[in-house]
A and B are shown apart, each in its own frame.
Chain A
């Protein structure tokens, strides 16, 4: 994982010390329950709760928010679409010739709901990352008997994400060295061509690298997932402590109680 989370996960608080399995399960539980919430208020309270916990374990909030902005770029595209594709009461309408574009109140509500759900899910995962080293998370997945192939995929993705990132940086630099202007509008046909080619080359390179990585694994006697599957022994001696479980339950109960309040019609 990158340095930011690595440094955070080296701190020592009660949450850092919790058993990784408990943390994984409770974070997943939190996400599952909170994404079934229907009310803005409930979701907002959930997100605020996560922010407070993040703050309590010593996470600086502003870098977290900056990171969130990146993720929301992806979610944002979807959210921007919702008001226009959900049927309901029109609040905005444009007439473009024969084409009529309209936004609906229901759509806007749905978009806000989606945004809040995304926010709390990302915050929950951030909490896991900020309090647990990446390697610990991976080991946690293994201990939870998650299929080895899935764990390996996560591991490789993170490992080679940085290698690919470096490659992309070098390619960009080399393009710039030959006079390419990085800030050109992508509407320019030539610029668009350059970008598509860059992406294509990156894909091909990744594929070739994957082949070389696989070769290097074979060279060290790898026989494929399943045959000698888990190449890291997992100690069975580490048992989950009661205190860990209680913390986990407490965490999930917070969102569960919001859910119950919502179901009882008290909020929402």
Chain B
């Protein structure tokens, strides 16, 4: 597999002296769905800002599609990596949805026809074509979130990063956002989210990175989420589904289920066994 983001010995401190990143090493493969997990203040957001060249490495290196992230390459990097911020009000500032979604492509210096085409397809991708002429500040939170995502999609980045994308969304909003993210990964995009929602990571991601205190604590497939040592050290919790099965000592050698689908399969099998 090809890596699209590589992080080597990355250190970063804020002006007030807070050391946010203390030697991060990380590879993100192309077309994967990555969940970066960690408690509040672990350094998730600080790390994400490096992928978009909004933070530049103070020590160590970050490579995006073999391009080293530096002051010189920051603009190019930003066209390859789209970043969706946690609070859509931070991101959306124009008078209409259409204007806001065209902000990125216009900054890229594209022709008006190209901008128009990209805006239309981005609005379609997040299913808000009907809101194009609306003023963003009259929209609901979930709708604003979609505008924010469309604003990034219109730049057609290969890598899309979302900081706590599910925070404050209602169940339906969560559901449609998951569908949007699925669409994106089906198109071959690399999607990286930062979250502390283990259930969501279990359901959605195929690659897990756990960050604790500015370092990578564990990295791998979803089985990390049921590793008691990792979970405890990272101040996280088991996925809800797993918590239920922990109460039933496993007579099988299989790992504990962690998604609803896995749980259903397991329960069906267990009921056959006891019948």
Contact = CB atoms under 8 A, between A and B. Distances in A.
Interface of A: 6, 134-135, 138, 155-156, 159-160, 162-163, 209, 212-213, 215-223, 228, 231-233
A219 B52 contact: yes
Contacts of B109: 228
A219 B83 contact: yes
Interface in B71-122: 75, 78-79, 82-83, 85, 87, 89-91, 93-96, 99, 102-104, 106-109, 112
B168 interface: no
A135 B137 CA distance: 13
Contacts of B214: none
B54 interface: yes
The list of the 4 closest CB pairs from A to B, nearest first, reads: A221-B107, A220-B104, A216-B91, A212-B90
5 contacts: A209-B90, A216-B90, A217-B93, A218-B78, A219-B83
A228 B106 contact: yes
Interface residues of B, number: 31
Interface in B101-153: 102-104, 106-109, 112, 135, 137, 151-152
A6 B137 CA distance: 13
Interface of B: 49, 52, 54, 75, 78-79, 82-83, 85, 87, 89-91, 93-96, 99, 102-104, 106-109, 112, 135, 137, 151-152, 155
A27 to B, nearest CB: 20
Nearest to A221: B107
Which has the most chain B C-beta neighbours within 10 Å: A163, A209, A231? A231
Given A215-B54, A228-B107, A159 B90 contact: no
Nearest to A138: B95
